[in-house]
């Protein structure tokens, strides 16, 4: 490592989250808390059927209800107002509905109660159509069509990839294993539900308060919405209140935002649409469910020769970012462990179920579940110890993977070793106790899935040594604000508390592609670091004249600007700033920086180095299986990550612990139960999140590999915590009782059924 943590003053320190005191006092304002003068309340009516034609809508009774200001149906939505990345989804449907979450009408009224009452007065006549809920059946020729005009339920997506020669490699393999794995719908369960408040000013410019993770792309979507409404050349301002959890759920723009805009325009008053918890379960998007067929083979020494994967993804009735998760699944499929020959085919299929979106890991948890379960099966078939098998095939610095990913810093081996050391994989467990391991690769240096992967930062210093940083980055609780502050403070010799990070408003903050792909530390961090370096240079030039010393000799520490070794040449930074400002021809210090990483879009060949660097990790679990009930108890958990450098170990641990527990829910308890398109468990009693009672002891060893491109060597860590959790648990269950559960979640019922089958 080029730099030791002890050389830093602010980086590497456990500095509490900058907005935590505000939150602890109950003063943080979330979308639920936004109240504007004259504000109306919007409510949305959803379809009664998963697949139906809308024959007739009568809104007259709702319109007549006192207190109601507007009632909208699909007829009121401009033709070109569509959502989703292939724009197949109008915010209120007209003519036909494709899922039970399809919006069919919306109301604005003077109170939420009246708005709700009005929904009940809207009369809709439907003609029910045959629904299709199984994606594999939806691919059959005589299946009902979700979108008749497309003539097929299979989306036109490019996921048909072949690197090397899989057929040849299979013939050369000494051992081959083949399995089918499935993952189901799970949902983000942000504690703060979704919502937006929209209002127009006298010149028909839009301001929208919304808890989005993509302020700049939302800004673009809403500009397009205004254009569709005939409002050309108007302005859009997106204001983010404090976000009550994101996890990917706010990575698209949604019907509730567009409906708030339409209602606000129609009423010429602010309109607030906020989801209740049932709506949050039913009308927000889930993690993409998958059916995966995987075949892997190795030679007699355990060298992995090929990986052949085929997936079917349930796309639901409309298309959001869930359909693009294969672009990220491709990363572990092509590049988790060294494997030269890779095939990946994914089909996204329309059904009348709910549609999926981004959720922490963006497809990686689903793919890694299949890969790492299969790795264990192949290790056993080859007769090679499962940890040794992974070490044989480990990724290493300097590798270029078949997809074209360039592996720079890589601490995978150290992570595997850390898990082995902490969990004592010696095979000497008591009855029904077992251990499991699974590794991960994830983007750690941005992810170019859009034209730009950039983020802007504007830095402004006052006369006293305090700094405002206006960043494109988004904090939703994960700590982007702290990381930015610590990076800027380190560079300028200040304290984190001297840095005010502003990330709430598109009118004042620069562009950013969004808080996704674990990219905030790396990309927003580098953006802020670049701006700080520019300001630093300016201060050095000023100090150089004042001290009569070369600019390169001027250092910054403890709020002082000084020349080391010369006590005369030292000045508090505030004093220096005032000297620069309050004089004829004075100056104030500001800088802007737009950082767009040098990573690559995948071209037509679906090859390219999508991230500047990659984060690695290995998770290990020790579980006990109750063979009477099938219940899996997690006794110990180790989550080792290569993070480049821990800018803030306190927040880093929080990301890992939180990610692991979300991953444990994915592994063991969480499942949106869907019957004929209907979500049956839209509440916290029946949707089983881990509670405080279920909390698990987690060790989180941190491996620092000092990435050459990361800010102070750091890589992203937002998502990795929940990536290999499910296979680590599945592998531990197999080790404990000899049954392999291939369908998530690993419920007691499934374990018990498998034990019964094994014992018969």
State the nearest-atom distance from the C-beta of 438 to another protein, in Å: 18
State the nearest-atom distance from the C-beta of 591 to another protein, in Å. Answer: 30
Q: Which is nearer to another protein, 192 or 363 (CB)?
A: 192
Distance of CA 712 to the CA centre of its chain: 23
Among candidates 759, 757, 760, 747, which has minimal Cα distance to 630? 747
In angstroms, what is the minimal distance from the CB of 135 to another protein?
28
Nearest distance in Å: CB 33, another protein: 4
- Residue/partner pairs of 218-221 with CB below 8 Å, 24 or more apart: 218/253, 218/257, 219/506, 221/83, 221/253
Cβ proximity to another protein: between 16 and 564 the closer is: 16
Q: Find the shortest distance in angstroms from Cβ 681 to another protein.
A: 12
Decide whether 74 or 665 has the Cβ nearer to another protein: 665
Nearest to 163 by CA among 31, 306, 281: 306
| Cα–Cα distance measured from residue 751 to residue 734, given in angstroms and rounded to the nearest whole number | 10
Question: In the bound complex, what is the minimum distance in angstroms from residue 10's beta carbon to another protein?
Answer: 17
Closer Cβ to another protein, 111 or 587, answer by number = 111
Q: Which residues contact 695 (CB under 8 A, 6 or more apart)?
A: 661
CB neighbour list of residue 174: distance below 8 Å, 6 or more residues apart: 297, 298, 299, 300, 382
Q: Pick between residue 190 and residue 378 the one whose CB is nearest to another protein.
A: 190
Q: Are 515 and 537 in contact (CB under 8 A)?
A: no
Residue 78 vs 654, nearer CB to another protein: 654
Cβ closest to another protein, residue 118 vs residue 661: 661
- In the complex, minimum distance from the CB of residue 242 to another protein, in angstroms, rounded to a whole number: 7
Least gap, CB of 29 to another protein (angstroms):
7
Question: What's the first-to-final CA gap in the chain, in angstroms?
Answer: 55
Task: Provide, rounded to whole angstroms, the least separation between the CB of residue 24 and another protein.
Answer: 4
Phi, psi of 582 (to 5 degrees): -90, 75
Q: How many CB atoms lie within 10 A of CB 50?
A: 27
Closest to another protein by CB, 5 or 32: 32
Cβ 433 to another protein, closest distance in Å? 22
To which residue do tokens 């992810």 refer?
447
User: How far is the C-alpha of 498 from the C-alpha of 573, rounded, in Å?
Assistant: 12
The site for another protein (CB under 8 A) is made up of 14, 16-17, 19-30, 32-33, 188-193, 242-247, 276-277, 476-479, 650-651, 653-654, 657-662, 683-685, 689-693, 695-696, 698
Q: Label residues 680-694 b or e (16+ Cβ within 10 Å = b).
A: eebeeeebbebeeee
Of residues 192 and 711, the one with the C-beta less far from another protein: 192
The strands making up 123-128's β-sheet, listed across from edge to edge, are 96-97, 52-58, 123-128
Nearer to another protein, 188 or 219 (CB): 188
Distance CA 231, CA 44 (A): 24
- The distance of Cα 409 from the centroid of its chain, to the nearest Å, equals 23
């Amino acid at each position: 490592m080029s730099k030791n943590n002890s050389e830093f003053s602010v980086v590497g320190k456990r500095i509490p989250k900058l907005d935590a005191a505000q939150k602890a006092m109950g003063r943080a304002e979330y979308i639920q808390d936004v109240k504007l003068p004259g504000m109306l309340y919007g409510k949305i009516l959803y379809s009664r059927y998963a697949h139906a034609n809308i024959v007739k809508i009568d809104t007259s009774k709702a319109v007549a209800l006192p207190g109601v200001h507007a009632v909208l149906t699909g007829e009121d939505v401009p033709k070109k107002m569509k959502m989703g990345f292939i724009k197949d989804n109008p915010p209120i449907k007209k003519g036909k509905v494709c899922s039970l979450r399809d919006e069919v009408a919306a109301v604005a009224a003077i109170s939420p109660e009246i708005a709700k009452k009005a929904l009940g007065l809207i009369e809709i006549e439907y003609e029910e159509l045959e629904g299709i809920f199984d994606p594999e059946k939806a691919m059959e020729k005589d299946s009902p069509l979700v979108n008749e005009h497309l003539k097929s339920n299979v989306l036109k997506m490019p996921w048909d990839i072949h690197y090397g020669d899989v057929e040849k490699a299979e013939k050369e393999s000494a051992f081959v294993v083949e399995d089918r794995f499935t993952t189901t719908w799970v949902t983000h369960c942000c504690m703060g539900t979704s919502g937006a408040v929209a209002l127009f000013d006298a010149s028909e410019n839009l301001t929208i308060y919304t808890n989005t993770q993509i302020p700049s792309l939302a800004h673009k979507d809403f500009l397009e919405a205004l254009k569709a409404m005939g409002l050309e050349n108007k302005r859009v301002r997106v204001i983010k209140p404090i976000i009550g959890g994101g996890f990917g759920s706010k990575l698209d723009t949604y019907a509730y935002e567009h409906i708030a805009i339409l209602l606000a325009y129609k009423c010429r008053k602010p309109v607030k649409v906020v989801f209740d918890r049932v709506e949050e379960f039913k009308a927000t998007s889930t993690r993409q469910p998958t059916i995966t067929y995987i075949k892997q083979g190795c030679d007699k020494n355990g060298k992995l020769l090929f990986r052949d994967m085929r997936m079917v993804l349930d796309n639901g009735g409309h298309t959001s970012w869930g359909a693009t998760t294969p672009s990220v699944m491709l990363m572990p499929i092509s590049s988790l462990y060294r494997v030269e020959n890779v095939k990946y085919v994914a089909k996204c299929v329309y059904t009348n179920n709910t549609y999926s979106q981004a959720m922490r890991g963006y497809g990686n948890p689903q793919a890694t579940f299949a890969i790492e379960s299969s790795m264990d099966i192949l290790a056993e078939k080859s007769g090679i110890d499962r940890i040794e098998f992974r070490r044989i095939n480990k990724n290493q610095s300097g590798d270029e993977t078949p997809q074209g990913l360039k592996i720079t810093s890589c601490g995978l081996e150290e992570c595997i070793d850390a898990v082995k050391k902490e969990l004592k994989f010696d095979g000497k467990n008591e009855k029904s106790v077992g251990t499991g391991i699974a590794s991960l690769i994830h983007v750690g240096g941005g992810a170019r899935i859009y034209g730009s992967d950039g983020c802007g930062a504007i830095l402004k210093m006052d006369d006293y040594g305090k700094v405002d940083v206006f960043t494109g980055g988004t904090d939703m609780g994960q700590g982007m604000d702290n990381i930015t502050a610590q990076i800027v403070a380190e560079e300028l010799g200040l304290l984190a508390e001297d840095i005010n990070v502003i990330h709430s408003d598109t009118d004042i903050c620069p562009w950013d592609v969004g808080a996704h792909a674990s990219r905030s530390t790396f990309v927003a961090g580098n953006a802020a670091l670049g701006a700080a370096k520019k300001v630093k240079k300016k201060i050095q030039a000023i100090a150089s004249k004042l001290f009569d010393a070369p600019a390169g000799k001027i250092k910054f520490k403890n709020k002082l600007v000084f020349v080391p070794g010369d006590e005369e040449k030292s000045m508090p930074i505030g004093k220096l700033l005032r000297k620069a400002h309050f004089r004829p021809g004075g100056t104030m210090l500001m800088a802007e920086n737009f950082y767009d990483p040098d990573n690559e879009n995948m071209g037509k060949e679906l090859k390219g180095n999508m991230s500047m660097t990659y984060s690695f990790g290995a998770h290990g679990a020790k579980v006990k299986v109750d063979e009477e009930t099938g219940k899996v108890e997690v006794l110990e958990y180790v989550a080792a990550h290569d993070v480049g450098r821990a800018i803030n170990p306190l927040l880093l641990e929080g990301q890992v612990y939180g990610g692991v527990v979300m991953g444990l829910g994915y592994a063991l308890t969480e499942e949106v139960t869907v019957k004929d398109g209907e979500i049956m468990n839209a509440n916290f009693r029946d949707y089983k999140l881990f509670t405080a009672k279920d909390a698990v002891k987690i060790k989180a060893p941190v491996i620092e590999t000092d990435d050459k491109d990361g800010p102070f060597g750091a890589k992203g860590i937002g998502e990795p915590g929940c990536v290999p959790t499910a296979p680590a648990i599945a592998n531990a269950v197999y080790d404990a009782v000899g049954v392999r559960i291939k369908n998530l979640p690993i419920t007691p019922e499934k374990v018990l059924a498998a034990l019964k089958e094994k014992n018969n």
